[in-house]
Chains A and B, each alone.
Chain A
């Protein structure tokens, strides 16, 4: 029985079930379909027993992990700066964080094509400093791809953390400082625990986004570096191997899902909860 006050929510629920959930269930279903028409986990077994395909899977997960790691590393000083900043600087940092998010993916990727190229500023600066003998290109290399993805995904981690810091209590930090904790200890023991749930939420977004960023991966990574999205696209677009492509996407989802679940459980861990 549909209650009166929930009536207006049903069109959206119906839309999402019909157009979002059911295609995904179909995808999960067809991934279990074998070439000979039988049902089972044959596609998954075939994918995982192929060394090249397995390499693509681990390479993609590793890419996600590396990007997440470097995004966190880069985010730390900026988050600390945001915490100490006054109203004006906070506004400026927020605009600088939102602008990359609102810039088209193709635009950001284009900027990195110029930056990472042989004549780009990175190569030219290192050449000028005498750190390298000849100009080099970071395009079509994993290093270049990671650098670009870190810049592109940074806002995904920063925004949830900033939202928490806006509401955070300044008194805890002041109390820690009055009690004689050094600057470092005061920050890491009084503020850091408060942002942990937001960091975990951000990690999930960064990881999911880095592993599936088809455009950046193919333009910066080039044809030699193959990740799951390109692999899936080839299976469908070139080979018309629907069940295989479905199985690969389910694997991608499952690995992201497992990481997400792990992080959520970590966030709910009582020791962390006690601090938060």
Chain B
């Protein structure tokens, strides 16, 4: 009697873990596969189910004349994203490296400030930044978007680099210095390789987030220079343009390729 009850309970357990677990997994990944599937749809609208296989949306997307606004928006967005990564790397990597070696009390009091943007809704920050801009008498601009993105996304790289810098053995750097290597040489041969996976992983996250951000871009950006997420957002609201699906396909592929490349270069610590 007790035996059967525990058997049923165990069976239920595995049914729950495997059945519901796999269902949730499908729920999580399904919409992305669907977006990919729809991008190969041959119908004139994005109706479900797709009518047949074709590359027409991709052809239209890559057509330089018909999709000129999308291309410009993508170029603007990539420009901002790359500049953001550059700025963030320059200020974040040294800071994370230094804080990993700083006295515990100092690091402990500074880190929350540097990580705060992670939990603050970027919409609220965007509003605050726009307010500051208008009080200074400045208008929305490329520079404003760049600084906004850097401020909001810097913690992503700070976290990945800090994790690695803290795990690095300081004895290695000391040994290098004792053995007569110059400071620059020690940095290039010992310190930099140690934190490089963190920088790469952080750069990837910052790049993707900057490319995807709507609120900061919407509030601080020059309306004359459309950015990719805003362009797509507008296309999505106006009509179910099939090119949205095609852009989705390109973006998913780009994210996957970047991730694989990073894993090659960064080793398994990069995440």
Contacts and interface: CB of A to CB of B under 8 A. Distances in A.
Contacts of A6: 98-99, 102-103, 106
Given A106-B212, A253-B121, A17 B113 contact: yes
Contact of B20 (A77, A114, A120, A232): A77
Interface stretch (A21-29, A37-45, A266-274): A21-29
Contact of A8 (B20, B34, B98): B98
Given A102-B208, A113-B240, A236 B127 contact: yes
B124 interface: yes
The prevalent SS among residues of A at the interface is helix
A274 to B, nearest CB: 24
Given A12-B91, A74-B24, A232-B123, A23 B212 contact: no
Nearest to B117: A20
A82 B20 CA distance: 12
A23 B28 contact: no
Contacts of A112: 31
Interface string B128-144: 11111001000000000
A105 B212 contact: yes
A128 B38 CA distance: 21
A230 to B, nearest CB: 10
A12 B101 contact: no
> What range describes how many residues of A lie at the interface?
35 or more
B64 interface: no
Interface in A31-69: none
A204 B150 CA distance: 23
B10 A13 contact: no
A110 to B, nearest CB: 5
Which of A105, A114, A115, A212 has the largest number of chain B CB atoms within 10 A? A114
Contact of B46 (A114, A211, A256): A114
B252 A107 contact: yes
B265 interface: no
A117 B19 CA distance: 27
Given A110-B245, A246-B131, 7 more contacts: A8-B95, A15-B150, A77-B23, A102-B208, A103-B248, A115-B34, A229-B215
8 contacts: A5-B101, A15-B150, A24-B124, A81-B18, A106-B233, A115-B34, A212-B121, A236-B127
